[in-house]
Amino acid sequence: MILGEAVFVRNDNPLAFSRDELVLIEALVGRASLSLDNARRYSRERAAALALQRNLLPRHISGGVALEVASRYLPADTHEGIGGDWFDAIPLSRDRVGLVVGDVVGHGINAAARMGQLRPVVQTLADLDLPPDVLLARLDRLVLRLGAQDSGEGGDLDLPASMVMGGTCLYVVYDPVNRQCTMARAGHPPPAILYPDGAVVFPEIPAGPPIGLGTMAYQSATVELPEGSTIALYTDGLVESRTADLGSGMERLRSALAGPRVGLEELCERVLTAMTNHRAAAAGREGTRPAEGSPGASPASDGSRPAGAAPGPDTSHASCGDDIALLLARTRPPIPRRPAPVPHEPDDFSADL
């Protein structure tokens, strides 16, 4: 495959290139062609990973009668490739809603594929009406089994962490009748809660180990959310970077959420703009900038979306060194509990013979 041509010309020296000069030219051309080929392969794999992730993430999420929801996903611009960040809103029985956000270990197309495995597993476990701590424990064990199968160990659960298809996860169940929100996390940053009076709180949730270690030791915490409260679930790419630790990033998130009350779509944009602009400014002070053609290298659209529409990759914000997933949910007015469906009694078709 021909990737290009190189022409070497000199004017002051009329002599032909020497053998040593030709060897140097061949070496330079070889290095250039290798770099171009690597860039082409990287672009192709990144495009494939983005397409895979776009198809695996939910196209439309809904909080039903309990929650108004909005979400964003911003892919990374690093050479390691996009990560395995994911999110979901899962309708449960009795008008409850399960909210989940997670981050699979690794980058590239393999991370996107593993994310595609975890999302339906969580949906299936959520459909069993498991409490958040029990769901994470079941997920931990299932991921360990999947990691054992992928490594060819024949189901041996005693695997090193590096061989496990693991990651972090935060799972939340909101009940609109008693307005209680029950949460558990596995190595994941805690959610942020924006109350109607403008206060932003990071609830204290026991920090369980990441998914895939086989400890299955998780605990839930419950808080009450008044009408109009907003809960923010996010991945660490939103609050952590090479220039800022988790604590300072969470404080910036608190400030971004605590501004004037707006709709969820506008709040998503405000949070992402505030967090990514700070990161871009810090990168500028370090003398770095995103690579040409990377997401966020230049502004694009205004980022507006239909209400409830889950995003594909968002390129309207400044670049980031890690994927960012953001899921916002705002509580609606409380509703009465719907009566449980009455089991259908089969008709009696018996007859005298």
- CATH number assigned to the domain comprising residue 238: 3.60.40.10
| Structural domain range at position 71 | 42-331
In a domain, 337, yes or no: no
In a domain, 32, yes or no: no
In a domain, 119, yes or no: yes
Number of independent structural domains in the chain: 1
In a domain, 19, yes or no: no
Positions of the chain with pLDDT under 70: 1-3, 42, 45-46, 48-57, 77-82, 108, 148-165, 279-321, 335-353
In a domain, 28, yes or no: no
Over the stretch 273-317, which tens digit does the pLDDT of each residue have? 999 887 666 655 555 444 443 433 333 333 444 444 444 555 455
Q: Which two tokens stand for residue 277?
A: 């602009």
Over the stretch 56-90, which tens digit does the pLDDT of each residue have? 667 788 999 999 999 998 887 655 556 788 899 99
- Look at residue 44 in the predicted model and tell me its pLDDT: 74
User: Is 171:201 a contact under the CB 8 Å cutoff?
Assistant: no
- Look at residue 299 in the predicted model and tell me its pLDDT: 35
In a domain, 10, yes or no: no
Residue 34: C-alpha distances to residues 2, 41, 45, 292, 346 (Å): 12, 10, 16, 19, 72
In a domain, 24, yes or no: no
